[in-house]
Each structure stands twice: as structure tokens, then as C-alpha cells.
Amino acid sequence: MRREHGQAAALTVLFLTVLLLSAAAVIDVGSWFREDRDTQRIADAAALAGAQALPEDQGLAQSYAVEYGTKNGGGVAAANIAFSTSVMAGDTIEVDVERPAPGFFSKIIGIDSVTVGSSAKARAGVPDSARYTAPITVNERHPMLNNCSGPCFGQATSIDLVNLHRRGSGNAAGAFALLNLRRGSSGNEGAGEVAGWLEFGYDAWMPLGTYDSVPSVNWNSSHMTEALRARRGDEVLFPIYREPIVGGGSNARFNIIGWVGFLITDWDNTGSSGRVEGEFTRVIWEGILTNSGGSADFGVRSVQLID
């Protein structure tokens, strides 16, 4: 009987040891999986942060990625960042994150830590659709969009919403550069709604294509005055149109080919005047990237993770 009791005790100790080691393994492995998921979060965020400087400045992109990774858990080193081309030259950043994940119970069997890691790629580009756009459209021939080998950013200028022209056919019969951003609608958007698109941005995707104008009375409204006051000193996103303007007045149609950032400093929306003052800016904006590269490039960039 003593031998049987001794055997039972030994087996109990053995099973308890195995059970404890199994529980320890589950705890440690679970901890390592959580650490691994955390590195994926860091890699994604660091790649998106770095992509904001692309494709113009890879050095700055690397700095953004390392800085953001360091602030959010570490594991991002300059040596683990690479650049490549997806659509525009040097438009893609890849970030590898590696860091040790400590063991707890695994130390019993000599495993102090394991290395966990993740990778992420992000691309910057010119969007083919944009969100939160404003209803004021700008002629692609605007001098400050062309006099600096492209847009002249950070220089005072103004945008005229009246006196629009169709090349070769004189005035566009009262056309006014204020857009109906809701394509296919009945055209009954009120002054408050159009002003809301300026104050808050149009809360839907705006693809490239043809858009109708809205009557100039919407520009002269008190709603628009309040919207302009609210956006003074803010960056907004203006659509860019290419001539010719088809039709005139409230029947005018504009061919939208891209977008540009604009910092509003002043305006005139009294009487027959239509003018916004400020400066063109580079912006990172919410947009949809495609591989077509169909949108004209006026300094607007969107970023997204890619496989």
C-alpha cells in the first residue's frame, strides 16, 4: 500500500508539473502573440506616417516613420525602412518592426525572450476621389498653379469666381465657379447646404468628372458668409477644372481633373463680386488611390496601406 501511495504521489507531482508548464506556455505564448499584434499596429502607423512625406522627400519620410514608431512602442530603426515605386517614383515605404518579447514562465526552461516582428507598406499618391471637398472650383490655368514648375505654394493670391471664359468663345454666359457636388441631383440644393459643403466639407466621395454649377446667389448668402468666417485660416480642398466650360449660368458644367489645397485668409461675397483670397498649399487629404494615376497633380496627397 505504501508503494502504491508513493507512486500516486509521484504521478500527482508529475501531472501537476506538466499542467503548470502547459499553463505557463499558454500564458507566455499568448503574451507573445499580443506583442506580435502590437508590432503590426506600430508598423502600420509608422508606414502611414512616413508616407506623408512621399514621394518628394524620402529622408523626411524615414524620420517620420522612426519618430512615430519610437513614440508608440519602439522597434522601428532606419535600417529597417525601405522605399520602392508603385505608381509614382519612390511613392512607397516599407517598415519592418522587430523587438524582443520577454518570457515569464518560459525562463524555467531557459527561454528569456523571443523576437517578434511585423511589416507594413504604405503608398502616397494623387487621389482619384476625394472627401470633404469645398464647392469652389479653380481654373487649371490660374497663374499660381503654373508659375513655379507647378503650383506656387505659400504665396498670396486670389481666386475669382466670376468672369469665367471658354477658350475661343468669349464669356461663359454668366457661369459661376461654385459647384453642385451632389452629382445627379435635381439641382435644388439650397444656400445653407452649399455653404455647409464649404464649412464642413462635402461628406461623400467626390470622383473626377463633370459637375454642374449652382447659382451665384448661393455665394452671396449669409450662410456662405458664416461658412467663410468659420474657415478663415483653415486649409480647404478646392476642385480644379479644365476648360472649356460647357454652357453658362446655372447650366454651366465644369470638367474636374484634380484638387488643390487652399488656405483662406479673406473673401468678397457681396453684390456681383466673387473672390477668395489666400494661398495654395500642399495637403495630405482623405482620398482614394488607384493605379491609374488619372488625377492631375496639384500637390494633394493621400496615403494608404498596401499589400
Question: pTM for the complete prediction?
Answer: 0.83
For the record, the C-alpha cell of 4 comes out as 502504491
d(CA 243, CA 141): 9
pLDDT-derived band of residue 270, with 50, 70 and 90 as boundaries?
confident
Task: Tell me: cis bond preceding 135? Omega within 30 of 0 counts.
Answer: no
Q: Is the pLDDT of residue 179 over 80?
A: yes
Amino acid at 190: G
Q: Give backbone dihedrals phi and psi of 100, rounded to 5 degrees, phi first.
A: -75, 140
Cross-strand partners of 262: 236, 280
d(CA 286, CA 281): 15
Largest alpha-carbon pair distance within the chain? 114
**Where is 240: in which H helix or E strand?**
strand 235-246
**Contact call for residues 78 and 67 (beta carbons, < 8 A):** no
Share of the chain above pLDDT 90, in %: 57
For the record, the C-alpha cell of 70 comes out as 519610437
d(CA 259, CA 298): 6
**Where is 63: in which H helix or E strand?**
helix 58-71
**Contact call for residues 199 and 236 (beta carbons, < 8 A):** no
Give CA angle at 144 (142, 150), nearest 5°: 100
Contacts of 117 (CB under 8 A, 6+ apart): 36, 39, 75, 96, 97, 98, 99
For the record, the C-alpha cell of 251 comes out as 447650366
Over residues 37-71, the pLDDT tens digits come to: 788 899 999 999 999 999 999 999 999 999 998 88
**Contact call for residues 75 and 27 (beta carbons, < 8 A):** no
pLDDT reported for residue 121: 97
Q: What is the mean pLDDT of residues 263-275?
A: 90
The beta strand positions in 54-139, using DSSP E, are 76-84, 92-102, 113-125, 129-133, 138-139
Over residues 101-142, the pLDDT tens digits come to: 665 655 555 565 667 678 999 999 999 999 999 999 999 999
Over residues 236-265, the pLDDT tens digits come to: 999 999 988 887 766 789 999 999 999 999
